[in-house]
């Protein structure tokens, strides 16, 4: 292992066009010989979700130590909250991502996009395709299942306040237990700590609860948009498409069709996990690391 690589991630705060500060974690900051890996989280998730896989990649799980950048969207994690909830919008977030990548000199990368992060990659494929040298799409694809959106709408911004970490674990199990049937007690505690933080005012989610209002645009009485043209924008880049075995957002049929339609798309199903696979288990980290090594040996 390169002794110069930072064992702890660095925190960067980048001021974007409208003055908000966007937070990014950088792992393996000195490992610049290979393409960096950029991690984009789900709707109400943060850069902390990637801590385990980012640490593994920075420490050489993909063959050599590698630089990893994980971004908190506005209103999530350590990024500033936006006073206008309407700015919790894909276009605004995508512009933020590009500004962060420019500031951190990561203009070309291998991307890991979980859920909403994968949608950002499809958007970037239209506006900045050269930035995407390869991509991992974690439980997201061109067809989004309405029942998954309905479930997410049911809890984002609406969680009761836990009174203890034990209470937070119980809440996580009630919400996600049907999706994640193989997690250990340690896994559930890790998931709870990725979802909540302990503040001076008690426990709170790691995101601005006004984010729930951005979901109002989804009218589940109407068909959701189909994104095969946007997915085709990624045809220039090798892909690894991951699905949780119990996912209610990405169907097995859509995963298989992704593998057929894209010229270089591997697929991987995470047993016993739902939307979205946590990328905390050794097997998932190894599979992503293998993909990264093959793309950029």
Q: Where are the domains of the chain?
A: 10-157+207-295
Instruction: Choose the weakest-confidence range: 141-145, 157-161, 181-185, 194-198.
Output: 157-161
List Cβ neighbours of 89 (8 Å cut-off, separation of 6 or more). 214
Q: What is the pLDDT of residue 154?
A: 87
The yes-or-no verdict on residue 3 having pLDDT over 70 is: no
231 — pLDDT class (breaks 50, 70, 90): very high
User: What's the whole-number mean pLDDT along residues 53-76?
Assistant: 96
pLDDT in tens, 113-170: 999 999 999 999 999 999 999 999 999 999 999 999 999 988 888 889 999 999 999 9
- Of 253, 251, 255, 249, give the one whose Cα is nearest residue 146: 249
Mean pLDDT of all residues belonging to the chain:
94
Which residue has better confidence, 28 or 223?
28
Is 1 a residue whose pLDDT tops 60?
no
Going by C-alpha positions, the residue among 144, 182, 145, 176 that lies closest to residue 271 is 182
pLDDT for the residue 7: 66
Specify the pLDDT at position 6.
Answer: 45
Q: Which helix or strand (DSSP H or E) is residue 285 part of?
A: helix 282-295
Tell me the CATH number for domain 10-157+207-295.
Answer: 3.40.50.1820
**From residue 113, how far is each of 20, 215, 219, 225, 288 by CA, in Å?**
23, 19, 24, 19, 12
Residue 187 has pLDDT above 70, yes or no: yes
Cβ proximity of 268 and 255 under 8 Å: no
Q: Among candidates 37, 43, 215, which has minimal Cα distance to 114?
A: 43
Beta carbons of 167 and 147 less than 8 angstroms apart: no
Average pLDDT over residues 38-67: 96
The confidence score (pLDDT) of residue 179 equals: 94
Closest to 111 in 3D by CA, of 92, 142, 132, 93: 132
């Amino acid at each position: 292992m390169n002794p110069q690589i930072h064992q702890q991630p660095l925190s960067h705060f980048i001021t974007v066009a409208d003055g908000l500060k966007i937070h990014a974690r950088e792992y393996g900051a000195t490992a610049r010989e290979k393409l960096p890996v950029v991690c984009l989280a789900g709707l109400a998730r943060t850069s902390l979700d990637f801590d385990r896989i980012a640490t593994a990649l920075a420490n050489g799980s993909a063959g050599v130590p590698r630089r990893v950048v994980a971004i908190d969207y506005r209103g999530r994690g350590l990024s500033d909250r936006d006073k206008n909830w309407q700015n919790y919008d894909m276009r605004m977030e995508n512009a933020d991502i590009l500004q962060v990548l420019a500031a951190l000199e990561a203009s070309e990368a291998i991307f890991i996009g979980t859920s909403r992060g994968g949608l950002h990659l499809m958007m970037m494929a239209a506006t900045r395709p050269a930035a995407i040298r390869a991509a991992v799409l974690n439980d997201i694809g061109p067809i989004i299942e309405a029942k998954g959106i309905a479930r997410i709408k049911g809890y984002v911004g609406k969680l009761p306040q836990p009174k203890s970490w034990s209470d937070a674990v119980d809440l996580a199990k009630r919400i996600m237990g049907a999706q994640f049937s193989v997690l250990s007690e340690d896994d559930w505690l890790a998931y709870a700590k990725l979802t909540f933080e302990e503040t001076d005012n008690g426990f709170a989610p790691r995101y601005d609860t006004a984010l729930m209002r951005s979901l109002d645009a989804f009218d589940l009485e109407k068909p959701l948009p189909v994104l095969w043209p946007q997915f085709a924008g990624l045809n220039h880049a090798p892909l690894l498409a991951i699905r949780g075995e119990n996912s209610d957002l990405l169907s097995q049929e859509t995963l298989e069709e992704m593998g057929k339609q894209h010229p270089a798309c591997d697929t991987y199903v995470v047993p016993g996990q739902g939307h979205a696979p946590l990328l905390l288990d050794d097997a998932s980290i190894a599979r992503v690391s293998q993909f990264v090594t093959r793309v950029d040996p």
